[in-house]
Every structure is written in structure tokens, then in C-alpha cells.
Structure 1
């Protein structure tokens, strides 16, 4: 399976290495997507069902410290209810969390990963309105009345959000691919984006959030995401995708990747359960 693609612009942040990551994303599909976050997406890919656009304002600091996913009670309130304006507004925990700019930034990416293109959340807050647009549609049922975000939803939305982190602070195009119809890459896209960068996966909603990545054969760094050093990266690089994931799919993406967790003795061990929502990024 694979994914569409897109274009995004990175914004530079003056914070230290682990905190200056700027998220940028695009779903590729043989066409460039508009940079205007309010502009509608156009389906012009040769194979993908839709082309999508993405926003470029999420920093690693927002990802790791925001009230929506950093606080266990609020995170549970978010995933156990529908991703709708009514549910978010009616729940005191999520409503209060959205007063945090970092939480709003994270929700923008969560919504763009979970909801299909053309759908959006418009939430009234403190006399104004917040609008969050859908793009990829990896968890569409979450956005329906009575919906919630189960394990499959959490893993795919997490992989999608983590794959869009960027350290460089510059305009970059990427191709996102994974074992989902929504992440299908056509021949044109695969030819335009031949360089496999890394695979991203985890659970940003867990009580102890997991931000994982693994490297493809022959790769020892992820400058787009981590900058010059993996040691200061906000995402934990668990090792080689060859040893942590199933064999790569036809489009080159690695499915079912595993992270590493620290045991009681302090040593790292490979997780037994794989992350279905493993998203591989390809570069030009």
C-alpha cells in the first residue's frame, strides 16, 4: 500500500534542538497540494483517491507539552468521545485544554490526519471560532456522532502526526506511505519521491506518549526531523527498520514496526506488539 503526497512550508523556531522541530506535511499524489490551509484540496492523483494539503505550525514543544495529549485525563477525554465540535465543546476537559495554543496546534494536525478532506471542525471558544480541516481520513468514524478513537485510530493518527515533524525550518516536499488505501502512492509519485527517509509510529495519546522512528538500510540520520544529532531528537529512533518491522511493501513502506521500551533493569527492549499505523516518509 502507499500514500498520496503534498507540500508544506516549515517555520523556523529559535528553541533548542529537541524543541525546534517544525511539523510539515503533505500527502503526495502526483500533484502538489496548496499551501493555504483554508484552500480546498483537489483530487488529481493518478492512483490516490484524494490529494491533500497540510499545515505547518506544529513544533515538537507543542507536541510534547500540549494539554490535549500530555495530560492523561484530557487525552482520554479526547479519544473516548467523538472528534466533533459538539463533543469537544461539551466536554469540560477538552474545552479547557483548547485554551492552550499548543493544544490547538496539535488538534489541527490530529484533525487533518483523522478526518477526510472536505470535513472540518468549527469550535466556538471565548467569543471566537477555531476551525480544523480534515485531509487524509485515516480515522473517519472518529469524526462521526457517537464516535471514538480506538486502538487502530490511535496508531494511525499518531504515525501520521509524527511523520510530519520537521527540524530544518524550510519548505520540504514529502511522500507519506503506509498500509492503508488512503496512503496509496501512484507510479508518478513513487518515481518523484524515491528516497526512503524513515518510518514513524507510536501513540501520542498514551499516558506515557510514544514517539518512535526507525531507519531504513544504509541510513544513520534523519536531518529533516532530528537535525544534526539523533541524541537530541524529540522522536526516539529505535534502530533499523529491517529488524523492527515486517518486510517492506511494494511501495517501499515498512509495516508493523516496533519501538523500544525501557525495562525495570533500565535496558531497552523491543516491544512485542507492533504498531499498525507505521508511516514511511519518502523524499525527492
Structure 2
């Protein structure tokens, strides 16, 4: 079975995050842009598709650039970024769709994956929020669009924030610290280490605050506080510049109860 964390399996919504697994090709790497052999990654993705019960040809990934850009995925987008990076949604770090049986993915190795859904509207979304995406406010911008332009109620959203780099391991210089401080609401998640002259920032809690400010009720947000650097099941770019990638995914199926089970990492 695929090694992953199932974050949601309720009704028609299924969502999870694949984890590092030494038993699988390239340790279960899902990143075609960060691999030794693309065929190994495709093997891993096909196994995930089998677990979820949705063909790989209905997966969609963006070509992530740490932007604040988002894209509404239509039926004709199915398969983009699934088997090659060439046809991935360009320059995009957040995807959302109203289409059923389309798996949206966010590829990370320390960055914060945000999986959201709105059952009332039949919408699911996946966001890649590295520190640059967080300070560019990609998640608030997507939610502002969905609420103000598409008329969705923030009270109807639910969100899962996936495993990411912990505050302990997210050590930054003044330039990054200033970017977070300029947000005006991240001060509680910034700690200065006088011995090293570095700042430590909690990117997950900053994203959570963005969600709360957007009107998402606190009881509808959950965070996986596992650190991708410290956890044996984590891919960490901070630890290894050649690290593979997790795939955090979400799908709304037409048949309730479908979606993979997977196994926890060992």
C-alpha cells in the first residue's frame, strides 16, 4: 500500500499527503522536477492513483514558482502535470476546481501544503505556500477571490495544513524575517536566537492566521505539526538539496467513500 497520511476521508472528499518510504523507488518521491529517474516517480504516482481510485490521467499539478498565482482547473485540464512537467499549469502555486474526480496536487519538501474544500459549493483546492508564497499571501488571495468573486461563504470551508518545516528548523536571515514582520500579524510566530543571530519562523502558524483572518472558523482548520526535517517520513530541502517531494492531494469524487487508505510511514 502507498505510504501516506490520510487527512480527510469524509463523504465525497478525500485528501492526504504521501510520505517518504525507503521501500519504494526513490523513497516514494513524487516530484518529476526533482528526481533521478522520472519513471520511478511515475511508478509512485501510478501507485497513488490506484490507492485513490482515480486514474493518473485525472491528476493536475502546477509548475510551482513560489508565486501568488492560482488557477481554476476545468475538465479539459485533467492530466496536466501528471506525467510530465511540460504540460503542468504554468507559474501557478494554487489550484482549485468544481469538477469531480480530478485530483489536485501540491508538491513540497518543507513548504506548507494547504488542502481546502467547500462541500456546499462542491469545490476543492490545493495550495503550495513556501515562505515566499506565505509573505505574498497566496492563500488569502485565493480565498478572497473565492469569497468576493465567486460568492462562496468562508464559514463553509474546511482546511488541512500538511506537514512542513518546523519553526525550530526554519532558520532565516534578516531579509526573510523582515518580509514576515511586514505582514503585521506574524510576530507571535517569530523567535530570535541571540546566539546565532538568526530568526526562527513558524510558517504553518502564519498560514493558519491567514486562514482565520479570511473568516475560516478555527474549528474547521487542522494542522499536521510533523516536521519534514526531523521526521523520518519527511522530504526536506533544508536537509538535502537533492530531496524528493511529497504530494499533498485532494479530490471530490462522485461516489462517497472512495479514496485511498494508505499506510503511515515507519
* Pairwise TM-score range, normalised by the shorter structure: 0.3 to 0.5
Q: Say which structure is richer in strand.
A: 2
**Length-normalised TM-score, structure 2:** 0.32
